[in-house]
Structure 1
Amino acid sequence: MYKALLSFIILIGGCSMTPEKYSNQEPKMDFKEYFNGPVQAWGIVQDWKGDVLQRFDIDMEGVWNGNEGELRETFHFYDGKTMKRKWYVTKVNDTYYEGKADDVLNTATGHIYGNAIRFNYQMELPMNGKKYKVALDDWMFRMNDGVLINRNYIKKFGFKVAEFTIFMKKKN
């Protein structure tokens, strides 16, 4: 029984989603184009059970100089708090991006294919007066009409402890 369970866990663990599987999906994700100029977003944070912990709106503004970009985010939480973050993003090639931010502990690595981009990074997440080091598995999917859906899985010791869901709309 133990061997069968272990084999099942290894099999399931090896079946992770990769951005390459979205190579033929439309509309194509052009990260530089989408995050150039203003973007409005709305989101929630849920715990591992699905309970909503926070709701927020985000005002974003992206500016690019060649393959170097700065994405400014202002989070407006429904409890009245505000948080700002600046991402410094580099387009390394057509399918690979890197990003840094003050609360990100390593270089975020992003792979883009078709309508999807996946970033992986670690950050210190403030919660209840403490900071927790967590890993983020950050997926964005380009939709029609300037919409982007962002699913961000927050993991500690390899287990999902929370997730963000964010809906973005590019402003004209």
Structure 2
Amino acid sequence: MKKLFSRIITLAFFGLFLVSCSTPQVSQYANEKPVLDLSEYFSGTIDAYGIFTDRSGEVKKRFTVLIKANWTIVGGKKVGTLDESFEYSDGTKQKRIWTLTEQSPGNYIGRADDVVGDAQGQLAGNALNWTYTLALPVDGTIYNVQFNDWMYLVTPKVMLNKAKMSKFGIELGEVTLSFYKR
């Protein structure tokens, strides 16, 4: 009986572990409003305000981003350019220019100079999930870190963003952003 009880406890623990490791799917947001249209939201000027927190939750950096965005049609596909200018609390500045291409409704590929390969984006309802590897400079060394990036449109002008950073499956920290469309 003791052995059976031990096995039940082990199976229950394993089941809880598997459930805790599951991640949300973008499709579960399909009915959420307002509906996010990337080419509509990321058009014109957008201001963003963010923080980077380490694994313990301590704020390590604060930053602002000025985004100038526009879209065109290339080869029958929507192609967006997001020109991002970052300014960090320590006075450093950074530039990133994204090129986003709609592959099919709700599916996007993103490219930027410091993104390794293609960023993969899926959109449904008010949510967008990006996954990508970023070549991140830290103290003179470049580290390739994985991002699992979630954006949620809250109002037609406000979007919230949470991105988890990891390396070899180990969480390094989180980036939290709020976007405001002018």
SS of corresponding position for 1:21: helix
Equivalent residue, structure 2, for 1:103: 114
1:127 CA drift (Å): 1.5
- What is the SS of the residue equivalent to 1:17? coil
1:117-128 matches, within 5 Å, as: 117-128=128-139
Distance in 2, matches of 1:157 and 1:7, equals 23
Distance in structure 1 (CA, Å) of the matches to 2:70 and 2:19: 43
Deviation per CA, 1:95-148: give whole Å up to 9, x if none. 101100000001001000000000000111112222111110010000115000
d(CA) in 2 for partners of 1:78, 1:10? 39
Instruction: Work out the CA distance in 1 between the residues paired with 2:170 and 2:28.
Output: 24
User: What letter is aligned with 2:27?
Assistant: E
How far 1:152 sits from its partner (Å)? 0.6
Where do 1:22-41 residues align within 5 Å?
22-41=29-48
Structure 2 residue 169 is matched with structure 1 residue 158: yes
What is aligned with 1:77? 88
Shift of 1:10: 3.0
Residues 1-172 of structure 1 correspond to what in structure 2 (within 5 A)? Answer: 3-4=10-11, 5-13=13-21, 15-66=22-73, 67-171=78-182
Residue deviations 1:48-101, cap 9 Å, x none? Answer: 100001000100011111211111000011111100000011011221011000
Contact 2:34 2:156 in 1 (8 A): no
Unaligned 5+ runs, structure 2 = 1-5
Q: Structure 1 length normalisation: TM-score?
A: 0.93
One-letter amino acid matched to 1:55: R
Distance 1:6 1:94 in 2: 37
What stretches of structure 1 of length at least 5 have no aligned partner?
A: none
Q: Which protein is bigger by CA-based radius of gyration?
A: 2
